[in-house]
Structure 1
Amino acid sequence: MIRNPVLPGFNPDPSFCRVGEDYYLATSTFEWYPGVQIHHSRDLVNWRLVARPLNRASLLDMRGNPDSCGIWAPSLSHDGGRFWLVYTDVKRLDGSFKDAHNYITTCETVDGEWSDPWYVNSSGFDPSLFHDADGRKWFVNMQWNHRGPGSGCNPANDRFDGILLQEWSPEAGLTGEVTNIYAGTDRGLTEAPHLFRREGWYYLTTAEGGTGYDHAVTLARSRDIRGPYETHPQKHVITAKGSDGPIQRSGHGQYVETHWGRHYHSFLMGRPILGPDGKTYCPLGRETGLEEVVWRDGWLWLAEGGTVPRIEVPSPVEAQPMPPAPSIHDSWATLPSDFQWLRTPHAERIFRCEPDALVLIGRESIGSWFEQALVARRQEHHVYAAETALTFDPQHYQQAAGLVTYYNRHKFHAAVLTQENGGPALTILSCPGDWPGGRLSYPAAPVPVGPGAVELRVEVNAHIQQFLWRQGGEWQPLGPELNAAVISDEGGQGEHASFTGAFVGMVAMDLTGQGREARFARFGYWPQA
């Protein structure tokens, strides 16, 4: 069976691509570097990370990008000769404006060195590239409207001002007429357009309803690429709105016909938990799922009917599960593939790998949007434990290093080794919600420690989190139980305020500017349920 999510933890906006008998899912990475995650499968059951293509400054530099900006909704395609990747680097999220710059890069192999990008436009976000049968390429993206009520073409939400189509080529860039081909439905917030062609029809898949609990995959079709497009008889092919099952927030995906002759659609999804206040939270962020679809009367429908995707979906082929990934890293010749860092293309300034340790170079604060030494992996389970072994010699309270559960600069808990009262001590830095409520707090009194390595551990059980520490003895609690639910999409200002997911990892900061180094000998992550 295909078990959803196929990509657990923060893996949203899945672009679905087939090349022969190989299948790829490309997902958004927002402010996490390198940009875009591409997973590969040959059975739709087992998926392996094979590339993060935006891995140098000429392709991506996000220093200064606010939280939940950066890489939105990449689109991966293949024209029969090479791969094409369309991506948006968003520089502003809040307010009326969206500064969203769209680029295209290409490569013969998915895991090769991708070309320096072509800049395309900045009129909106979530673009894609359609390769028509005649060899022409068409660029499709939503148009952002900053003007306000009554000014747009969709009455449900004026900001999302329709889907634009224009021809594009590597030699000439955008050429010819710009056509607004689709205004969307009354669900509104029409974005994430993908075109495909079948039996004389052009089909347009979009995401609607926002990326929260009203999210949906909407389908429309036309005989002419420029329209007019008619909307699916039930409007939405996939949506969990109004349901109470374990899969929520489903939408934003792409259709693929497999080489087995069966048909599947990717979608993003959330698996909410209940917080201490009785509200729902998605600490794992928006994840990626697959559902089988069928053709009937020229339209796509979920194979089992309705609009709500299933946890388990029949696989098109027998598949054995891959062996689990290593639970612990204690060799650091290279950075393990499950880790990323924030914003900067100049990783050498924030960490280096040595055979026996990952060395973090303390830079700006844990709240910086420019250069912070924070290396972390996705939280993929609602119940887990993680731990690390740290050697650090702070000389000042402005120097700190330790273990962090992190969403963004306003939503994190960090157990750090710093200096308090003239000696090394452990303390907790906590920011439990979006600004303006997310001021730094200190839920634990400093705990003095001796010289040498300190081990730190965190245990997370749904909305409850507990830090622990030891130095040669048994594990001891560090501070009180903390609210883990705030480290989620909905924590703070709600489901449309932040778009990534919870991470757990290692952090070092040196606010004196001296770049004091912290050595992490190991890092382990263990699912507990």
Structure 2
Amino acid sequence: MQYSNPVIPGFHPDPSVCRVGEDFYLVTSSFEYFPGVPIFHSQDLVHWKQIGHCLTRQSQLDLEGCRSSMGIYAPTIRFHNGRFYMITTNVKMFRNFYVWAESPEGPWSEPIWPEWPSVDPSLFFDEDGRVYITGTGGFFGDEPKGIYQAEIDIASGKLVSERRLVWQGTGGKSAEGPHLYRVNGQYYLMIAEGGTEYGHMVTIARSALPYGPFESNPANPILSHRSTGSSIQATGHADLVQLEDGSWWAVFLGIRPVSVPFSGRHHHLGRETFLAPVTWSADGWPVIGDNGKIAEKMDVGTLPIALDETATPDVGDFNANQLGLEWNFLRNPRDEDWSLESRPGWLTLHGSEVTLNDTGSPAFVGRRQQHFKCSVATLLSFDPVHEGEEAGLTVFMNNRFHYEIALTRGGDGGRKVIFRRRIGSLWRVELEEAYEGNDIILGLDAEPAQYTFFFAAPNGERKSFGSGECSLLSTEVAGGFTGVYLGLYATGNGKRCEAPASFNWFQYKHNS
């Protein structure tokens, strides 16, 4: 029996995992999106269901004015003495913090802010009761770059030992993403190196003491797809977990680039979560996958494969009193910009002056694109009153790279459908057409290399209306660390909209 990689597709990078009895819990980075740090549950490491977010309040997650691909980096989740702990960095303010909860669904506590000048923090609860914080340092002054560690009082967040440089890796750039483990009396320090691009890799060292000196594994890296032709690239930033049967597994990030003729490989779905078995060599070193290589199809081995309960309906409505867990806002949402109550059964967005080109908080609700081939559609009801009032559907990578199909009011007072592309400093409404009604279906068909947009009157025939290359929204072109979102939005383009925009349903169908 085999399972398919990635186990969590779409923009879900920097996975961290812990086991509690027969249950597994996993978190990933969320950057400028709110709520922050999605948390997933599984009973087999293969099928993951989102059960909440760790950061659901502005007091936990300040993203005001946060630039794209800033915000929340590389969380770690651990369980100790009946509590879950999630530690991470808010790069907007360059501060580390952790929250805790007795239930993984939450509520999670207010942040505890240790004096820890680093990124990618991790916690390790040792058998003797000591707790260690480990992270990436070397950002200030003359401090050497590398992995730093200290003992911490987990109740207060205060350091109770000096902060020490414990390992600088094997020579690859950006030694980061550390996790400390204790296995058979030895301390293992596993990190990422090479940058989170095509040279990404996982390396490991060990010591008899938590502060080292650490001996580097002579077989490093233990995971990397650098300089290979694999369909999976940039594998790295791993976390280990041991099952009740004694076997070990690793979760880690990777990408699935699409080859574009004459312009190379591009990935637009973001960094995704992958899974591989871990074996141990005769001399006591972990080996991930097939000597550091993994595939899209992998043997389940001894995994206790459970019933897949992760499927969501193709068409979702807005009848509940809260948004589904798959939905996110860009930065901290304004209460006055959205509602599920002002028109029951609809998501209503009140467009503000903020546009998708800004680093503010637009009236935007989006979900990740998780499949190369998918079809998306929504029913919008909108009667724009003034010129520039606009609402529609966006394919959004960041504030400088996105496509829209929308309903708006033009300078002549008429209502029209527009298709627009924003690629860096290049911005253009490429198509526009008069439209008579207030209700309109907007949608797109995604293929690995292209988006094709369409619109239709309710119960009418759809009309193709523009296209855009996926590669122009890829990390290789747009930069950053996120992946494409499919979003519903409204804006007054510099002024607050008088007219609300209401969305009745959202369809996401995929076949790959």
Fold similarity call, TM over 0.5: yes
Matched, 1:228 2:217: no
Within 5 Å, give how 1:192-203 maps onto structure 2. Answer: 192-203=177-188
Alignment-mate amino acid for residue 525 of structure 1: Y
* 1:102 counterpart letter in structure 2: N
Partner of residue 18, structure 2: 17
Taking the aligned partners of 1:376 and 1:515, their CA distance within structure 2 comes to: 22
Deviation at 1:243, TM superposition (A): 1.1
Q: Provide Cα deviations, 1:380-438, integer angstroms capped at 9, x if missing partner.
A: 11111100111111122321100110010011001111111211111122112xxxx43
Q: Secondary structure at the match of 1:486?
A: helix
Tell me if structure 1 keeps the 8 A contact 2:338–2:349: yes
* Number of the residue aligned with 2:401: 411
Matched with 2:445 is 459
In structure 1, list runs of 5 or more residues that go unmatched.
Answer: 92-98, 154-160
For the 8 Å contact 1:411–1:438, the answer to whether it is kept is: no
Match for 1:162: what amino acid? G
> How far apart are the structure 1 equivalents of 2:177 and 2:310?
34
What are the within-5 Å matches in structure 2 for residues 23-42 of structure 1?
Answer: 23-42=24-43
Question: Counterparts of 1:69-468 in structure 2 under 5 Å?
Answer: 69-91=70-92, 99-121=93-115, 123-145=117-139, 153=144, 161-169=145-153, 170-171=155-156, 173-275=158-260, 277-296=262-281, 297-303=283-289, 305-315=290-300, 316-322=303-309, 324-333=311-320, 334-344=322-332, 346-354=333-341, 355-363=344-352, 364-420=354-410, 421-432=412-423, 437-444=424-431, 446-468=432-454
Aligned-residue Cα RMSD (Å) equals: 1.6
Write the distance in 2 (CA, Å) between the matches of 1:301 and 1:229: 18
* Distance in 1, Cα, partners of 2:386 & 2:419: 16
* 1:202 CA displacement: 0.5
Relative to structure 2, which stretch is displaced further, 291-300 or 273-282?
A: 273-282
Q: Secondary structure at the match of 2:163?
A: strand
Counterpart of 1:94?
none
Q: Which amino acid aligns with 1:405?
A: V
Q: Distance in 2 between matches of 1:163 and 1:9?
A: 29
Contact kept, 8 Å, 1:64 with 1:369, in 2: the verdict is yes
What is the identity percentage for the equivalent residue pairs of Structure 1 and Structure 2? 33
SS in 1 for 2:124: strand
d(CA) in 2 for partners of 1:342, 1:452? 26
- 1:440 counterpart SS class: strand
Question: 8 Å contact 1:378–1:502 — kept in the other structure?
Answer: yes
Q: Give 1:302 deviation, angstroms.
A: 2.6
Residue deviations 1:350-388 (CA, integer Å, cap 9, x gap)? 211143211011121112222211111111111111001
2:225 alignment partner AA: A
Name the SS for the 1:174 alignment partner.
coil
Which residue, 463, 475, 483 being the options, matches 1:476? 463
**1:237–1:301 CA contact under 8 A, matched in 2:** yes
Is this contact kept in 2: 1:7–1:288, CA < 8 A? yes
* Whole-angstrom distance in 2 between the partners of 1:349 and 1:74: 30
The alignment of Structure 1 onto Structure 2 pairs a total of residues equal to 500
CA distance, structure 2, for counterparts of residue 130 and residue 516 of structure 1: 52
Secondary structure of the residue aligned to 1:126 is strand
For 2:157 and 2:71, locate their aligned partners in 1 and report how far apart those are by CA, in whole Å.
Answer: 26
Shift of 1:319: 3.4
Secondary structure of 1:490's aligned partner: helix
- 1:96 maps to which residue? none
Name structure 2 gaps, 5 residues minimum: none
In structure 2, C-alpha distance between the alignment counterparts of 1:187 and 1:528, rounded to whole Å: 38
Deviations 1:199-231 (A, max 9, x none): 111111111111111001111111111111111
User: Match for 1:84: what amino acid?
Assistant: Y
